[in-house]
Chain A
Amino acid sequence: MASKALPMFPQAAKTALSNSQLRRNLGKATTTIRAKRAAVVSELPDWEALRSAGSSIKARTMRHLDEYLLQLETAVQHAGGQVHWARDAAEANRIITELVQATGADQVVKVKSLTTDEIHLNKALAAAGIRAIETDLAELIIQLAGETSSHILVPAIHKNRSEIRDLFRHTIARGQDLTDDPQQLAAAARRYLREQFLSAQVAVSGANFAIAETGTICVAESEGNGRMCLTLPRTLITVMGIEKVLPTFQDLAIFLQLLPRSSTGERMNPYTSLWTGVTQGDGPQTFHLVLLDNGRTNVLADDVGRQTLHCIRCSACLNICPVYSRTGGHAYGSVYPGPIGAILTPQLVGVKQAKSLPYASTLCGACYEVCPVKINIPEVLLHLRGKVTRLASPLDPEALAMRELARIFASPKRYEQAQQLARSGQRLFIHGGVIDHLPGMLAGWSTARDLAPIPRQSFRDWWRERQRGDQI
C-alpha cells in the first residue's frame, strides 16, 4: 500500500464530531444494528462454540497459509479458472486492467468489495479509460457523491435519505420526480443499474471466502446486485486478499452462521453466491482469480498481529465501538475504519504511516467481545502502540515524561516525594477550590472537566497516622 502518512485521527475526529447530522445518522444506525445483532446472537445457544470454531479454523489456516493457497490455485485452475498472484496494489491493478483490456470492454460492473477499495482499483481503471460502475446501492451512492466509504458494510451510513434524494436528482435520476421515500430511491437506483447489468461484458468482485479443497469462491450479500454481476457478464474477475482462504467446504458452514448474524444482524443473508471455476453455457465463461498480498504476509509474520488476518469483515466491531459510533469511518483515513481498521491499517501501510490509529481506542474491549472470530483487538492495539513508541525520538516530550514517571514509580521514596511535589505545585492551578485549567499536554483534560485538588493527606499518610495511633 502507499507509504504516504495518513491524517492524524484526533484532528480528523474533531471535524467529524462537530457534524451534527453525521452524529445523528451514525448514532441511529449503529444503535439499530447493535440491537439486531444482539437479538440474533442471543438466540443461538452455541454462539460461543461457533466463535471458538471460527477462531480455530482461521488460526489453522494462517499456520499453513502457503499450502492452502497453492491448493486453491490448483483447484481453481482445474475447474477452468485462471489464477494470478499480486504482490501489491500496483501489481493487482495492472493485472486487472490488462485482463479487462483483453476483452475489449471499456466498462465493468462491480460487486461491493473492500479489497478493490484498498487497492484503489476504480482509479487505476479510470486512468486506463475503463469506467467502473459500483452496483451495491450504498457503494453507488458513495461513487456518485465522489466520496469514500465510512463503514465496511454500510458504506453510506453517514448519509440520510434526503441527502441521497438530492444526490440522485443530480445524477442518475435527473428530471425524475423523486421523494425521499426509501422505496422510491431504491427504484430509481434499480432502473439505472438494470441497464448496466444487461450491457456489461466484465464484472469485478471481491470474495468473502475461497475454499482450498474445491476452488469454490463465495460472496455473501443482501441486495442481489452482486448475484447479477456474478452471473450475467461473460468475464468475471475476482480479487481477494490471501487471508480469505478456508481449507474445506465444511468450514464454510461455521462462517455462514457467524457472518450474517454479526454483520447485518440477520440469521441468513439474502444472497450467498458460490461458484467453482467456469460452467459451460452457464454464467461467466472466463474466470480470473487475483490473489492479493499487499502487506498481508508482513502481518502474518507478526506473532501478535497475525490474528488480524482472521477478520471476516463483518463490521460488528465498528457498530459496537463507542469511538467509531461517534466519529464515523472517515476519521480513520482508510478503507478499513473502526477497531479492525485501527489494527489492520497500521500493519498494512506501516505503523509509521498510521501512528495515531492504535490510540483511537479507549481499550474498552467491546470489539473483542463481539468479534465472531475472537480477534483480541485490544491486545493488538497495545502491541502496535509499543511499536509506535519505539519510533519516537528519545527527546519526544511524552517519551521523556513517561520514562521519568517510570523512574519515580520504581522507588517508593521518589514516589512519595513526587506526591508531595504535586501537592505543593498544584497551588498555581487552583481557582475557587478546583483545578479548571491544566498546562501543556494535559490541557485537553480541563477544557470540559474540573479537577478536585489533591487532598492534603494521602492514603498512606492516613495509614501511618493510624498505625502510630494504634501503637499509643
Chain B
Amino acid sequence: MRVALFITCFNDTLFPNVGIATTQLLERLGLTVDFPEAQTCCGQMHFNTGYQRESIPLVRHFVEVFRDAEIIVAPSASCVGMVRDLYSKAAALSGDAALIEAVDQLTPRVYELSEFLVKRLDVTDVGAYFPHRVTYHPTCHSLRVLHVGDAPLRLLRAVKGIDLVELPDARECCGFGGTFAVKNADTSLAMLSDKMRCVLDTGAEVLCSADTSCLLHIGGGLHRQRAGVTTVHLAEILANTESEAL
C-alpha cells in the first residue's frame, strides 16, 4: 500500500522528528511512503482566525498536490480536522464547482495517523518499545472533530515496556486553540496551568499527544517551569523499537 505523507507545515518546520518517525513507522509496517514535496500549509490558521477567503488558495494548492494520492496520512489531528471538516466549507465559499467536487473526492482519503493504523490497517501492536512512564493528552480535534476514540490509547497500550498512566480531566482543552493562545493569552495560560497540574499529578516523565501544536503549548509551559516532563508525539513513541531507539 502506498501512502502520501501530509507532514503539515508545523511539523515540517518545527518538529521534523515527528515526520521522520512517521515515515520510519509506516515503512516498518510495510507501506511505501511518498512525500509530495510541493505541499505547504493546509490553511487552518487562516480559516480558524476568520481569514476564510484567504485560505481558499491554500485549499486549492493542497487539493492539487494530493489529487492523485490514494491515501493521505498526517501526524496531526488538527490539520486533518481542517481538511475533513472545513475544506468543504472553504470550497463552498469559493463558489468554484470544480474545487467543491475535488474536495469531496479528496477528503475521505485523508487520515490522522492513529485512526489510519487502528481503523484502516487494523493494527494496534506496531512492535514499539518505550520504557517510560507516559501520560496521554487526547487533543480536542482528535476527540471531537475526527472522533478517533481510543485509537491512540490502544496503540500506546500495545507498546512494550511502557508505563501508561491516565491523565485526569483528559478530555478538557489544554488552552492552545491556535491564535487563541495569542489573542486570549491570559485565558490560555489559565487553562494551561490546570492542564500542567494534571500532567504533573500523574508523575509521568513523558506527555504524549497526537498534535504537536498542543504539545508546543503544554511543553513550552512545562519547560519554562523546569518541570522535568518531556513532550513527545505519538509517532515518536510508536517508531521507537528495542533495536532502534530514537
Residues of A near any B CB (own CB < 8 A): 9-10, 13-14, 17, 23, 322-323, 326-327, 358-366, 368-369, 382, 385-389, 398-399, 402-403, 405-406, 409-412, 415, 419, 422, 434, 436, 441-442, 444-445, 447-452, 454-455, 457-464
Contacts of A463 in B (CB 8 A): 19, 23, 35, 37
* Nearest-Cβ distance from residue A101 to partner chain B, whole angstroms: 45
Residue contacts A-B, CB under 8 angstroms, 23 given: A9-B184, A10-B186, A322-B172, A322-B191, A326-B190, A360-B184, A362-B188, A364-B144, A366-B140, A386-B50, A398-B49, A403-B54, A410-B57, A410-B58, A411-B40, A444-B182, A447-B189, A449-B220, A450-B223, A451-B220, A460-B12, A462-B20, A464-B37
Q: Which of A326, A441, A442 has the most CB of B within 10 A?
A: A326
Q: CA–CA, A406 to B47, complex, Å?
A: 11
Cross-interface CB contact of B185 among A322, A385, A434, A445, cutoff 8 Å: A445
Contacts of A464 in B (CB 8 A): 37
Q: CA–CA, A452 to B223, complex, Å?
A: 9
A359 touches B184 (CB 8 A): yes
Asked if B127 is at the interface (CB within 8 A of a chain A CB), the reply is: no
Cross-interface CB contact of B187 among A327, A369, A436, A462, cutoff 8 Å: A327
Which listed segment binds A: B116-124, B173-181, B199-207?
B173-181
Contacts of B58 in A (CB 8 A): 406, 409-410
B224 touches A449 (CB 8 A): yes
Contacts of B220 in A (CB 8 A): 445, 448-451
Contacts of B178 in A (CB 8 A): 362-363
A359 touches B180 (CB 8 A): yes
Contacts of A449 in B (CB 8 A): 192, 217, 220-221, 223-224
B40 touches A17 (CB 8 A): no
A415 touches B177 (CB 8 A): no
B16 touches A409 (CB 8 A): no
Q: What does DSSP make chain A's interface, helix, strand, loop or mixed?
A: helix
Interface string of B211-240 (1 = CB under 8 A from A): 000001100110110000000000000000
Q: Which of A360, A363, A411, A444 has the most CB of B within 10 A?
A: A363
Asked if B43 is at the interface (CB within 8 A of a chain A CB), the reply is: yes
Cross-interface CB contact of B52 among A386, A405, A412, A460, cutoff 8 Å: A386
Interface string of B15-26 (1 = CB under 8 A from A): 011111001000
* Nearest-Cβ distance from residue A423 to partner chain B, whole angstroms: 8
Q: CA–CA, A398 to B51, complex, Å?
A: 10
Interface string of B34-77 (1 = CB under 8 A from A): 01011111010111111111110110010000000000000000
Contacts of A405 in B (CB 8 A): 45-46
Query: Contacts A359-B184, A448-B224 given: A389-B12 contact, CB under 8 Å?
Result: no
Query: Contacts A322-B191, A388-B50, A406-B55 given: A365-B16 contact, CB under 8 Å?
Result: no
Q: Which of A369, A411, A458 has the most CB of B within 10 A?
A: A458
Cross-interface CB contact of A445 among B38, B182, B194, cutoff 8 Å: B182
Cross-interface CB contact of B177 among A17, A23, A327, A361, cutoff 8 Å: A361
Asked if B4 is at the interface (CB within 8 A of a chain A CB), the reply is: no
Contacts of A402 in B (CB 8 A): 46, 49, 51, 54
Contacts of B144 in A (CB 8 A): 364-366, 368-369
Classify chain B's interface size: 35 or more
Q: CA–CA, A415 to B48, complex, Å?
A: 20
B9 touches A415 (CB 8 A): yes
Q: CA–CA, A9 to B188, complex, Å?
A: 13
Contacts of A323 in B (CB 8 A): 184, 187, 191
B177 touches A364 (CB 8 A): yes
Asked if B7 is at the interface (CB within 8 A of a chain A CB), the reply is: yes
B180 touches A454 (CB 8 A): no
Q: CA–CA, A411 to B40, complex, Å?
A: 7
Contacts of A10 in B (CB 8 A): 183-187
Contacts of B9 in A (CB 8 A): 409, 415
Contacts of A386 in B (CB 8 A): 50-53
Q: Which of B14, B17, B221, B223 has the most CB of A within 10 A?
A: B14
* Chain B 98-151 residues near chain A, CB threshold 8 A: 140-141, 143-145
Q: Which of A364, A389, A448, A458 has the most CB of B within 10 A?
A: A364
* Nearest-Cβ distance from residue A127 to partner chain B, whole angstroms: 36
Q: CA–CA, A387 to B53, complex, Å?
A: 11
Contacts of A382 in B (CB 8 A): 47-48, 50, 52, 86, 89
Given A363-B180, A459-B12: 20 more A-B contacts, CB < 8 Å: A13-B187, A14-B186, A326-B190, A326-B194, A359-B184, A362-B188, A386-B51, A386-B52, A389-B49, A406-B43, A406-B57, A409-B9, A410-B58, A419-B13, A441-B182, A444-B182, A444-B186, A449-B223, A452-B14, A455-B16
